[in-house]
Amino acid sequence: MMLELGRFPNLLVFNVSNNSFTGMLNSQTWSASNGTEILDLLMNHFVGNLGSLENCSSSLKELHLDVNSLPGSLPGELPNVFGNLTNLEFFIANSNSFSGSLPLSLGLCSKLHVLDLQNNSLTGSIDLNFTRMNSLCTLNLAGNHFSGPLRNSLADCHQLKILSLAKNGFAGQIPFVSVEVLKLF
């Protein structure tokens, strides 16, 4: 079990990135994050799943899980799993082994600036409603197994600067995205 963050009630930032830490991420990990605003677990050897992410505090602004050993489906079958994270601005979980579809509850994260899930094994169509995600600047879903058309609501992301959808199986037309600078990788 990872260090219990609840032992530090005033902890705003927990950054253990770029180490060789191991441990299980579970419901105790997420519920102990009480007032923490930034959880940065980048480039370690954590295992477990995000199934108990709904226990995470609404104060969380940044969640960095990239380059770990996290397998399984992203949470989303349960209603409002990401909807509880009302202040989430950065969700970066690239280069893990996530599978399954993109959780629809991510569309409830209206303050999200960066959504980076590249290099996983996510599948299916992107049914995410982007209408409420008007703060989204970066959407990186490259290197997965998505297919089908893109949602027209993607055009509602007026702040979008980086859209990376490479190495998937998308088809159809790209919705009109009115942004000043749009990079397609």
User: Which pair of structure tokens corresponds to residue 16?
Assistant: 């253990």
For residue 170, what pLDDT is reported?
94
Which residues does 106 contact at the CB level (< 8 Å), separation at least 6? 76, 82, 91, 112, 115, 128
Residue 182: pLDDT above 80?
no
For residue 179, what pLDDT is reported?
46
Q: What is the mean pLDDT of the chain?
A: 83
pLDDT in tens, 72-106: 777 644 335 688 888 999 999 999 888 888 888 89
Residue 176: pLDDT above 50?
yes
Share of the chain above pLDDT 70, in %: 79
Closest CA to 54 of 23, 36, 31, 33: 31
Residues in the chain: 185
Count of the separate structural domains present in the chain: 1
Q: Is residue 98 within 8 Å of 122, Cβ to Cβ?
A: yes
Rounded to whole angstroms, how far apart are CA atoms 33 and 87? 14
pLDDT in tens, 124-142: 999 889 999 999 999 999 9
Q: What is the mean pLDDT of residues 146-150?
A: 94
Residue 185: pLDDT above 70?
no
For residue 14, what pLDDT is reported?
87
- What CATH code is carried by the domain that includes residue 11? 3.80.10.10
What pTM value is reported for the model? 0.87
For residue 57, what pLDDT is reported?
73
For residue 184, what pLDDT is reported?
53
Q: What is the domain range of residue 163?
A: 5-184
pLDDT in tens, 109-120: 999 999 999 999
pLDDT in tens, 18-55: 999 888 776 666 665 678 899 899 999 888 767 666 66
Please provide the distance, in angstroms rounded to a whole number, between the alpha carbons at the two ends of the chain.
Answer: 38
